[in-house]
């Protein structure tokens, strides 16, 4: 008797996640590198495109789901996180990615970030942080540096930029990293790790806007400036050290994992399942509930 060999499991490649849609980003936009890193990370993770939901807001960066073969929703400005959380709660078996710009995530959508973090729903939030509103032609964003002259800041920005790393770390996110398309292998590796992390993971990507962004934020300048946290012997299990390094956002370009909770806290989904099991174990038989109701 000959035993039938099990069919080989097809391995996925980066090209399996690339859709037929041609990106309309400006030539040289950092988001080209980000989408390449996403393809490679997803191939390494190995979940097929039909098991992935990729949700974004509105902005140049938010076009990214359309350039992948995953199920995608280029949704409403600032509302990617609530939509993604709803999808993950309704379909916990899906791998859920969320993406958008710094404006989408930390300006109009800023209020949602804290709640997504504290719920610890298992999704990966990718912010393409170019310190500008790209799609609407170069207005100030919440991460724009002080002094930046734009169409909405003729005197130069008078406001202190928001610090996305400190924001997310201080709300208790269990996984926080920062990357750049100037280091594609490093970015790919951290995206893979973020996707695999069981809980809310945040990756801030310094993705340059070549059309409205500053010279100091472009790939060439980033290559000279970036410092890998691993080379600095940073201990990513220490949130306080991560916060301390995160204070340098805007001055230094640290890349890698700032914080990875070595004991991942329970996800929202795990808590729901545990509570449901507890309730069904303690449920009164139907007859008893009726008796109680009728005060027998």
Ligand X SMILES: Cc1ncc(C[n+]2csc(CCOP(=O)(O)OP(=O)(O)O)c2C)c(N)n1
Chain residues binding ligand X by CB under 6 A are 58-61, 77, 100-104, 108, 128, 130, 132-136, 141
User: Which single residue is written with the structure tokens 């993770």?
Assistant: 45
- Binding residue for ligand SF4, selected from 113, 194, 209, 229, defined by CB under 6 A: 209
Nearest Cα to 36, choosing from 10, 14, 65?
14
Q: Taking CB under 6 A as the rule, which mask of x and - marks residues 28-67 in contact with ligand SF4? A: -x-x----------------------------x-------
Q: Which does 102 bind (CB under 5 to 8 A by kind): ligand SF4, ligand X, none?
A: ligand X
Size of the site for ligand SF4 (CB under 6 A): 12
Minimum CB separation from ligand SF4 for residue 58, in Å? 12
Cβ–Cβ < 8 Å for 148, 155:
no
26 binds ligand SF4 (CB under 6 A): yes
The residues pairing with 253 across neighbouring beta strands, listed in sequence order, are 226
The torsion of the CA quartet 264, 270, 271, 273, rounded to 10 degrees, works out to -170
Cα separations (Å) of 277 from 89, 264, 269, 272, 283?
17, 21, 12, 9, 10
Tokens, residue 66 = 């359309």
Cβ–Cβ < 8 Å for 239, 169:
yes
Minimum CB separation from ligand X for residue 26, in Å? 11
Minimum CB separation from ligand X for residue 80, in Å? 10
- Binding residue for ligand SF4, selected from 130, 157, 204, 255, defined by CB under 6 A: 130
| Nearer residue to ligand X within complex by CB, 53 or 135 | 135
Q: Phi/psi at 82 (nearest 5 deg)?
A: -60, -40
Task: Please tell me the distance from the alpha carbon of residue 138 to that of residue 133, in angstroms, as a whole number.
Answer: 5
Minimum CB separation from ligand SF4 for residue 29, in Å? 3
Chain contacts with ligand SF4 (rule: CB under 6 A): 25-26, 29, 31, 60, 130, 134-135, 209-212
């Amino acid at each position: 008797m000959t035993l039938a060999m099990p069919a080989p499991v097809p391995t996925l490649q980066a090209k399996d996640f690339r859709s037929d849609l041609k990106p309309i980003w400006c030539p040289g936009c950092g988001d080209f590198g980000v989408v390449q890193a996403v393809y490679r990370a997803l191939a390494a993770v190995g979940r097929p495109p039909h098991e992935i939901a990729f949700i974004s807001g509105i902005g140049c960066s938010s076009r990214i789901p359309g350039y992948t073969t995953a199920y995608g929703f280029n949704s409403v400005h600032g509302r990617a996180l609530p939509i993604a959380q709803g999808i993950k709660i309704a379909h916990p078996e899906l791998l859920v990615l969320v993406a958008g710009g710094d404006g989408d995530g930390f300006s109009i959508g800023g209020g949602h970030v804290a709640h997504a973090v504290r719920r610890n729903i298992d999704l990966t939030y990718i912010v393409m942080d170019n310190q500008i509103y790209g799609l609407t032609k170069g207005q100030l964003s919440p991460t724009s540096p002080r002094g930046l002259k734009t169409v909405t800041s003729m005197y130069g920005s008078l406001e202190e930029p928001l610090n996305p790393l400190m924001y997310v770390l201080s709300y208790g996110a269990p996984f926080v990293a920062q990357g750049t398309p100037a280091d594609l292998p490093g970015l790919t590796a951290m995206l893979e790790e973020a996707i695999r992390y069981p809980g809310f993971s945040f990756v801030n990507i310094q993705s340059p806007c070549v059309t409205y962004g500053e010279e100091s934020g472009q790939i060439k300048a980033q290559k000279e400036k970036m410092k890998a946290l691993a080379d600095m012997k940073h201990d990513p299990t220490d949130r306080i050290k991560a916060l301390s390094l995160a204070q340098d956002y805007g001055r230094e370009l640290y890349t890698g994992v700032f914080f990875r909770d070595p004991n991942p806290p329970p996800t929202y989904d795990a808590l729901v399942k545990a509570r449901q099991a507890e309730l069904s174990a303690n449920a009164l038989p139907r007859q008893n509930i009726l008796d109680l109701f009728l005060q027998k």
